[in-house]
Amino acid sequence: MKIAKDWFTVSDLHEIRNRKLGTGKIGGKAAGMLLAARILNEVGDDDIRQAVRIPESHFIGADMMYTFMALNGLMHWAIRNTS
């Protein structure tokens, strides 16, 4: 994702890695939330910067998510038709 490369700093990526459980990519919603907050904090006015709050979070890597789904008989939810 080029937009993430344009906005995330090494410090941002380090913080994400420290809060990630497992390996692999984090989900799109979590990544999008972090990216949106980063952009708003960088270019938003004072009111926006004060309003943007991300709760303390941890992010589940793809490997852990798939393991959880496999152990709990939920893999049919991972195999979905996106067309």
Tokens 């090494």 belong to which residue?
A: 10
Mean pLDDT of 51-79: 89
CA–CA gap between residue 50 and residue 39 (Å, rounded): 13
Integer distance in angstroms from the first to the last C-alpha of the chain? 21
Q: pTM, whole model, 2 decimals?
A: 0.72
Binning pLDDT at 50, 70 and 90, where does residue 78 land? Answer: confident
Return the axis-axis angle of helices 28-43 and 10-18, rounded to nearest 10°: 140
CA–CA gap between residue 34 and residue 11 (Å, rounded): 13
User: What pLDDT, on the 0 to 100 scale, is given for residue 2?
Assistant: 84
List pLDDT tens digits, range 4-50: 899 999 999 999 999 999 988 988 888 899 999 999 999 999 999 99
